[in-house]
Amino acid sequence: MPALAVVGAQWGDEGKGKIVDFLAPEHDWVVRYQGGANAGHTIVVGGRKSVLHLIPSGILAPSPRCAIASGVVADPIALLEEVAFLESLGVAVRGRLFVAPACHLVLPHHKAIDRAAEAARGGTPIGTTGRGIGPAYEDRAARRGVRAGDVLDAERFRARARDAHAAGNRVLAGVYGAEPLSDAALDPALDAAERLAPFVADVGSLARGALDRGERILLEGAQGTLLDLDCGTYPYVTSSNTTAAGAAPSVGIAPWAIGRVLAVYKAYATRVGAGPFPTEMSGDESERLVAAGVEFGATTGRKRRVGWFDGPAARYAARVNGATEIAVTKLDVLDEWERILVCVAYEIDGRRTDEFPADARSLAACRPVYEEWPGWREPTGGARRVADLPARARAYVERLTALSGAPLGVVSVGSERDATFRIA
């Protein structure tokens, strides 16, 4: 059976983790294919909130096995803390979680360089999380990274890690004029990484074998499409490929093995960090939406920037990913709004376009062209099928679906697992 890729179709924080958790019981495997501990997938089950940064969201379902693929950069300390957290909740992790040998490790110097580089940008920061993700991907591309599989040879692993630590210190001191890290600062990461050895397995081989047996695989992305290194609003992007196309090489499967792509959209838009955001709200309206949606980052706690749904961006994301269906989340956040705006096009230098620009500078010059929709002013949180939604809420979802250009597959109307339902 072809794999299903679940991708974020905005600037992240769309509710991918919730959708993956909802779909996980239908799958035999859930594989995280990119990003690092800069992601934060929040799942609420029975009033209990779990925030996962590295382990696939499917781990909370009892049946699927889970894997972290080679396209992920994993902080060994954070990963073990997550394992301990899940086990404290009674979730079985050992024997169900596998880490690809080619998964690169985030070490202390990556975090220090991340913070130093962001500080050096002065008034034009990217808005990174400071978790060392970008520098770890830089080392990966430069072929000097340390990988999870290295821990299987302890002596070689420690030598490679200490070489990387020394090289990182040279960058800190020579490029940024920052204080080098002590040798002792590396020790906790070394100890944690070596404790990951029982989790290391050939994820590509496991995934290919599962596909050959007709098992069902769900591929989980971390950040959103508009933060993709190649397709996003560069340079205000993450350091990996977030789209469905990036999943196959990361996992080690053929591109044609991905038969379905579910693109996840919030019923409005949010963004964390710097970069153009055409539909961004301001003032009291912004504060109202932040409060209603509890728009604070699960990883950093930073307040998110908020705005209206962006149709051209939505259509672009659906096309880039080859979306076969979409999910709309957090519809309930808009329940009390008297009027709701939807961006259907842009104006650039007096010209109207419904295309998403190819570069961040052009996007920053875009002015949104809005449609105004009447709010439904009725609760949607109890809906468990489309027919349960107020008529105006149904019409709004239908408009978002039309703007995306892909059929509607899933709707979410609350934080709890059971506040999510399929269309068919």
Q: What does the pLDDT look like over 345-359, one tens digit per residue?
A: 999 988 999 999 988
pLDDT range class, residue 49, cuts 50, 70, 90: low
Q: Which pLDDT value is given to residue 130?
A: 81
Catalytic pick from 13, 75, 139, 310?
Answer: 13
Q: What is the number of other CB atoms lying within 10 angstroms of the CB of residue 9? A: 32
Which helix (H) or strand (E) is 416 found in, with range?
none
Which helix (H) or strand (E) is 312 found in, with range?
helix 311-321
Q: Which pLDDT value is given to residue 89?
A: 87
Same fold yes or no, 104-194 and 265-422: no
Asked whether residue 301 carries a pLDDT value surpassing 80, the answer given is no
Asked whether residue 333 carries a pLDDT value surpassing 70, the answer given is yes
What is the distance in angstroms between the CA of the first residue and the CA of the last residue of the chain? 20
Angle in degrees, 0-180, between the axes of helices 154-176 and 108-120, rounded to the nearest 10: 20
Q: Which pLDDT value is given to residue 126?
A: 74
Q: Which pLDDT value is given to residue 416?
A: 87
Domain edges within the chain:
3-101+198-263, 104-194, 265-422
Residue whose pair of structure tokens reads 């979410």 in the numeric block: 412
Q: Which pLDDT value is given to residue 72?
A: 97
Asked whether residue 98 carries a pLDDT value surpassing 70, the answer given is yes
Asked whether residue 121 carries a pLDDT value surpassing 90, the answer given is no
Mean pLDDT of 223-235: 95
pLDDT tens readout for residues 393-420:
999 999 999 999 999 999 999 988 889 9
Catalytic pick from 21, 27, 41, 110?
Answer: 41
Asked whether residue 50 carries a pLDDT value surpassing 90, the answer given is no
Asked whether residue 290 carries a pLDDT value surpassing 80, the answer given is yes
Which helix (H) or strand (E) is 353 found in, with range?
strand 351-353
Asked whether residue 42 carries a pLDDT value surpassing 80, the answer given is no
pTM above threshold 0.75 = yes
Q: Which pLDDT value is given to residue 383?
A: 94
Among the four given CATH numbers 3.30.420.40, 3.90.170.10, 3.40.50.300, 3.40.720.10, the one describing domain 265-422: 3.90.170.10
Mean pLDDT of 222-229: 95
pLDDT range class, residue 299, cuts 50, 70, 90: low
Q: Which CATH class is domain 104-194?
A: mainly alpha
Q: Which pLDDT value is given to residue 52?
A: 82
Pairwise CA distance, residues 261 & 395, whole Å: 24
Fold of the CATH domain 3-101+198-263: Adenylosuccinate Synthetase; Chain A, domain 1 (3.40.440)
pLDDT tens readout for residues 51-93:
788 999 889 888 999 999 999 999 999 999 999 999 998 999 9
Q: Which pLDDT value is given to residue 53?
A: 87
- Tell me what the pLDDT averaged over the chain comes to: 93
Is 41 an active-site residue?
yes
Is 110 an active-site residue?
no
